[in-house]
Amino acid sequence: MSFDEFPKIVVTPPGPKAKGLIEREKKVVSQGLGVKLFPVVPERGYGALIEDVDGNVFIDFLAGAAAASTGYAHPKLVKEVQEQVSKIQHSMIGYTYSKRAIEVAEILAEKSPLEGPKILFGLSGSDAMDLLLKIARFSTRKPWVIAFIGAYHGQTYGATSIAAFQSSQKRGFSPLVPNVVWIPYPNPYRNPWRIDGYENPDELINAFLDYLEYYILAHVVPPDEVSVLIAEPIQGDAGIVVPPEGFFKELKKVLDEHSILFAMDEVQTGIGRTGKWFASEHFKVEPDFLAFGKGVASGMGLSGVIGKAELMDMTSGSALLTPAANPVISAAAYATLKIIEEEKLLENAQKVGSFIMKRLKEMQEEYEVIGDVRGKGLMIGVEIVKENKKPDPELTGKICWRAFELGLILPSYGMFGNVVRITPPLVITQEIAEKGLEIMEQALKDALAGKVMHKTVTWH
Question: Percent of the chain having pLDDT more than 70?
Answer: 99
Domain of residue 168 covers 76-343
Long-range contacts of 446-455 (CB under 8 A, 24+ apart): 446/402, 447/395, 447/398, 447/399, 447/402, 448/367, 448/369, 448/395, 451/402, 452/398, 452/399, 452/401, 452/402, 454/398, 454/401, 455/394, 455/396, 455/397, 455/398, 455/400, 455/401
In a domain, 142, yes or no: yes
**Cβ proximity of 259 and 295 under 8 Å:** no
**Same domain, yes or no: 206 and 269:** yes
Say if residue 333 is in the same domain as residue 363: no
Residue 10, domain member (yes or no) = no
Q: What is the CATH number of the domain that holds 372?
A: 3.90.1150.10
Question: Do strands 379-384 and 370-376 pair parallel, antiparallel, or not at all (unpaired)?
Answer: antiparallel
In a domain, 5, yes or no: no
Residue 2 has pLDDT above 90, yes or no: no
- Whether residue 66 is contained in a domain is answered as no
Q: Could you give the number of structural domains in the chain?
A: 2
336 lies in the same domain as 374 = no
Residue 8 lies in a domain: no
User: Tell me, what amino acid is at 386?
Assistant: K
Q: pTM for this one?
A: 0.96
pLDDT per residue as tens digits for the range 236-270: 999 999 999 999 999 999 999 999 999 999 999 99
Q: Which pLDDT does position 76 carry in this prediction?
A: 98
Which of 326, 343, 360 terminates a domain? The answer is: 343
Same domain, 239 and 338: yes
Same domain as 380, residue 291 = no
**Domain CATH for 205:** 3.40.640.10
Q: What mean pLDDT is predicted for residues 371-381? A: 98
Residues 290, 263 share a domain: yes
Q: Are residues 109 and 20 in the same domain?
A: no
What is the per-residue pLDDT for 459? Answer: 79
Does 33 or 112 have the greater pLDDT score? Answer: 112
pLDDT at 166 over 60: yes
Task: Report d(CA 148, CA 35) in Å as an integer.
Answer: 22
Both 31 and 119 in one domain: the answer is: no
Same domain for 317 and 414, yes or no, is no
Query: For residue 402, is it within any domain?
Result: yes
Mean pLDDT of 80-92: 96
Q: Are residue 232 and residue 285 in the same domain, yes or no?
A: yes
Domain end marker among 343, 358, 384: 343
Q: Residue 7 falls within a domain, yes or no? A: no
The band of 457, judged by pLDDT with boundaries at 50, 70 and 90, is confident
pLDDT of residue 1: 57
Pick the more confident residue, 5 or 445: 445
Same domain, 93 and 48: no
Percent of the chain scored above 90 by pLDDT? 96
Of 343, 363, 381, the residue that ends a domain is 343
Measured CA to CA, the distance from residue 20 to residue 456 in angstroms comes to 19
pLDDT tens for residues 269-292?
999 999 999 999 999 999 999 999
Claim to verify: residue 334 and residue 291 sit in the same structural domain: yes
Summarised one tens digit per residue, pLDDT across range 381-439 is: 999 999 999 999 999 999 999 999 999 999 999 999 999 999 999 999 999 999 999 99
Kindly state whether residue 460 falls inside one of the protein's structural domains: no
Given this model, what pLDDT does residue 458 score?
86
Residues 309-320 pLDDT 10s: 999 999 999 999
